Amino acid sequence: MTTGPLLPIQNQLMRWLRHLGTERRLSALSLDAYGRDVRQFGEFLSENPQMMLQKLSAADLRQFMAQRRAGGIGSRSLMRQLAAIRSFLRYLESEGEVDASALALLRGPKLGKSLPKPISMGHARQMTDADLLAGSPREAWVLARDAAVISLLYGCGLRISEALLLTRAQAPMDGQDHVRVTGKGNKTRMVPVIEPVRLAIADYLALCPFSLPPAEPLFRGVRGGPLKPRLIQLAVEEMRGALGLPSSATPHALRHSFATHLLSRGGDLRAIQELLGHASLSTTQIYTEVDQARLLAVFDATHPRA
């Protein structure tokens, strides 16, 4: 968890983050994101000393939103930042430190409805193949590592953070057909592992030059430390270029593809919710719209009277 420069809300911010970590058991990644969002709000207050944290007005909060808009932030990112600020102010209100009544007068930005953009089945399979970038100057074990991580994203529907949190002891080996995953809010779930994913992980383990104690991270960087998400993002960018895919083909799009392809093959929506680790079925239902959109596109492209 980073602390950044000293702000007028520094003490309250650190107490709130400790509360989120202990009471709500948020992950370190979530705490970093929440802290970053509220820290920017603290910098805004530093630049506007006439605004009092103890009695913020709706106009003060709208001015902050306008400044962030002018800085180029999108509606979805601004919505997430406002959610963090709301949580922070509600916490301080519960501690008797501020009056957060202005939040009731504040409306969030309107979000344009956008559907996840899955990768086609053929391209998703190609991205899990270590031979796709065989001409790359990177070592064979690194290509095998990237293929194993990407296989977990597409073959098991994991988030990139979930894949990189796996330890050596959790690797699905010796006929093990499932993996225990720790997701958002430190909730765990069991996810089936298909044979191609097990084989990709076995190939990586056979080539990995580092000792991997059971309780330590399964996936390593070139110097032996825990693998960083950015390296997988770069690997996917390289694969995207090799396959001529659009910029929407990201690591998270592989998770979208997992859900969409299961649904298109008759997968049960409730089962897909469990596999993805979604707290609410409504979050998973967006994939029904993706599948309908795909079917309509096929209809429009192929029907003689379309």
Catalytic residues: 159, 184, 252, 255, 278, 287
Do residues 27 and 161 make contact, with C-beta atoms less than 8 angstroms apart?
Answer: yes
**Beta-sheet strands, E only, within 125-186:** 178-182
Q: Is residue 170 a contact partner of residue 179, using CB atoms and an 8 Å limit?
A: yes
* Residue type (1 letter), 76: R
Determine the 3-state secondary structure of 100 from DSSP: coil
With b for 16 or more beta-carbon neighbours within 10 A and e for fewer, the 245-261 pattern comes to: beeebbbebbbbbbbbb
> What is the phi/psi pair of residue 191, to 5°?
-125, 125
Phi, psi of 301, deg, nearest 5: -80, -25
The Cα 36–Cα 79 span in angstroms is 14
Cα-atom radius of gyration of the chain, to the nearest Å? 22
3-state secondary structure (DSSP) of residue 182: strand
Judge whether 253 and 118 are in contact, CB under 8 Å.
yes
CA distance 87 to 94: 11
Tell me how crowded residue 76 is: count the other CB atoms within 10 A of its CB: 12
Between helix 28-47 and helix 75-94 the angle, nearest 10°, is 90
**Rounded distance between C-alpha atoms, residue 14 and residue 20, angstroms:** 10
